[in-house]
A and B are shown apart, each in its own frame.
Chain A
Amino acid sequence: MTNTLLSLNEATRTVNSGSNKVTLLDNIDLQVKEGEFISLMGPSGSGKSTLLNCIGMLDSFTDGGYTFLGEPVHSMKEKNRSKLYKEYIGFVFQAYHLIDELNVWENIETPLLYKNVKSSERKAMVADMLDRFNIVGKKDLFPQQLSGGQQQLVGIARALIGQPKLILADEPTGNLNSKQSTEIMELFSQLNKEGVTIIQATHSEKNASYGSRIINLLDGKIVSE
Chain B
Amino acid sequence: MIKNYFKIAWRNIMKHKVFSLINVIGLTIGLSASFVIGLMIYYDYTFDTFHKDGDRIYRVVTDFHSPQGNFNNPGVTLALEEAIKENSNFDVVSGFYQERPAKVENKAIDKVVKWPNFVIFTDANYFKIFDYKFLAGDKTNILSQPNNVVLTEKRAAEYFPNTAPNEIIGKTLVYNDSLNVTVTGVVENFKERTDFVFEEFISHPTVLQTRLREDFLNKEWANTNSSAQLLVKVSSSADLVAIQNRFDALAKEHEDEDSKKYGLTQKFVLQPLSDIHFNEAYGIYDWSKGQASRSLLTNLALVALFLLLLGCINFINLNTAQASQRAKEIGIRKTLGSSRKQLIGQFMGETFLLVVISALLSFLLSRWLINVFSDFVPEGLSFDLFKAPIIIIGIAVLLLVVTFLSGFYPAMVLSKFNAVSVLKNHLTVGDKKVKLRKFLTVFQFSIAQIFIIGTLLVGKQINFLLNKDMGFKTDAVVSVYNPRGEGEISKKEIYAEKLKAIPAIKDISLGGHAPASMSSNSSSISYVDDNNEVNTDLQFLFGDANYANLFQLEILAGRGIRNDSVKELVINETCRKKLGFTSPEEAIGKTVLMSDENIPIVGVMSDFHQRSLRSDIKPMAWRGDWYRARFSQFQAVHVSFQNNAEGNLKETLSKIESAYKTVYTDVDDYRVEFLDENIEKFYNREKRISKLLNWATGLSILISCLGLLGLVIYTTNRRVKEIGVRKVLGASLLQINTLLCKEFLVLVAVAFIIASPIAWYGIDSWLQDFAFKTSISFWVFLISGSAMIFFALLVISVKTLQAANANPVNSLRSE
Contact = CB atoms under 8 A, between A and B. Distances in A.
Given A53-B420, A99-B329, A99-B332, A114 B8 contact: no
Interface string A64-101: 00000000000000010010011000010101011111
A122 to B, nearest CB: 10
B423 interface: yes
Contact of A86 (B11, B15, B329, B337): B337
11 contacts: A53-B420, A56-B335, A79-B339, A98-B332, A102-B7, A102-B8, A110-B333, A113-B1, A114-B339, A114-B342, A116-B1
A162 interface: yes
B331 interface: yes
Given A91-B335, A99-B329, A106 B15 contact: no
Contacts of A131: none
A147 B335 CA distance: 23
Nearest to A114: B337
A93 B420 CA distance: 11
Of the candidates A95, A98, A110, A115, the one having the most CB atoms from chain B within 10 angstroms of its own CB is A110
B336 A114 contact: yes
Nearest to B7: A106
A57 B317 CA distance: 32
B4 interface: yes
Interface string B399-433: 00000000000000000000110011000000000
Contacts of A113: 1, 4
Contacts of B337: 82, 85-86, 111, 114-115, 162
Contacts of B615: none
B1 A59 contact: no
A48 interface: no
A97 B11 contact: no
Given A58-B419, A58-B420, A101-B12, A110 B335 contact: no
B334 interface: yes
B328 interface: yes
Given A58-B419, A59-B420, A97 B332 contact: yes
Contacts of A95: 423
Contacts of B423: 93, 95, 97
A110 B4 contact: yes
B342 A97 contact: no
Interface in B411-467: 419-420, 423-424
A101 B4 contact: no
A106 B1 CA distance: 11
A111 B772 CA distance: 72
Interface residues of B, number: 23
Contacts, number: 57
B786 interface: no
B642 interface: no
B334 A58 contact: yes
B768 to A, nearest CB: 57
Contact of A97 (B4, B12, B15, B328): B328
B426 to A, nearest CB: 11
A87 B334 CA distance: 13
Interface string B317-354: 00000000000110111111111001000000000000
B658 to A, nearest CB: 77
Contact of B329 (A49, A93, A100, A109): A100
A162 B335 CA distance: 12
Contacts of B331: 97
Contact of B333 (A56, A99, A109): A99
A143 to B, nearest CB: 11
B336 A111 contact: yes
Given A97-B331, A101-B11, A101-B12, A158 B336 contact: yes
Contacts of B329: 99-101
B300 to A, nearest CB: 41
A101 B328 contact: no
A106 B333 CA distance: 12
A53 B419 CA distance: 10
B12 to A, nearest CB: 6
A211 B335 CA distance: 24
Given A99-B333, A102-B8, A114 B338 contact: yes
Contacts of B15: 101
B528 to A, nearest CB: 92
A82 B331 CA distance: 14
B7 A110 contact: no
Nearest to B3: A119
A172 B13 CA distance: 32
A56 B331 CA distance: 14
A81 to B, nearest CB: 11
Contacts of B4: 106, 109-110, 113
B425 to A, nearest CB: 9
Of the candidates A56, A79, A114, the one having the most CB atoms from chain B within 10 angstroms of its own CB is A114
Contacts of B1: 113, 116
Interface string B226-249: 000000000000000000000000
A58 B336 contact: no
Given A99-B333, A101-B15, 6 more contacts: A49-B424, A59-B420, A79-B339, A95-B423, A97-B331, A97-B332
A110 B420 contact: no
Nearest to B1: A113
Contacts of B338: 114
Of the candidates B8, B333, B336, B424, the one having the most CB atoms from chain A within 10 angstroms of its own CB is B336
A127 B116 CA distance: 80
Instruction: Please provide the 3 A-B residue pairs with the shortest distance between their CB atoms, ordered closest to farther.
Output: A86-B337, A114-B337, A101-B11
A219 B419 CA distance: 23
A181 to B, nearest CB: 21
Contacts of B420: 53, 58-59
A110 B336 contact: yes
